[in-house]
Amino acid sequence: MKILLLGKDGQVGWELQRALAPLGELRMLGREGADFAEPESLRACVRAFAPDVIVNAAAYTAVDKAESDADTAQRVNALAPGVLAEEAAACGAWLVHYSTDYVFDGSKEGAYVESDATRPLSVYGSTKCEGEERIRASGARHLILRTSWVFAARGGNFAKTMLRLAKEREQLNVIADQHGAPTSAELIADATALALHSIRDAGAAGPAMSGTYHLVAAGATTWHGYAQYVLEQALAHGAPLKAGPQQVQPIATEAYPTPAARPRNSRLDTHKFQTTFGLQLPDWRHHVNRLIAELAEQGQL
Active site residues: 124
Helix, strand, coil tally for the chain in percent (to 5):
50, 20, 35
- 121, 1, 3: which is closest to 57 by C-alpha? 3
Helix (H, G, I), strand (E, B) or coil at 266: coil
Distance CA(187)–CA(12), nearest Å, equals 9
Q: Are 226 and 289 in contact (CB under 8 A)?
A: no
Question: If phi over 0 gives left and psi between -120 and 50 gives alpha, with beta otherwise, what is residue 149?
Answer: left
Contacts of 70 (CB under 8 A, 6+ apart): 123, 127
Q: What amino acid occupies position 218?
A: A
Q: Assign 3-class secondary structure to 101-168.
A: HHHCCCCCCCCECCCCCCCCCCHHHHHHHHHHHHHHHHCCEEEEEEECCEECCCCCCHHHHHHHHHHH
Q: Assign 3-class secondary structure to 213-229.
A: EECCCECCEEHHHHHHH
- The CA angle 180-71-151, to the nearest 5 degrees, is 25
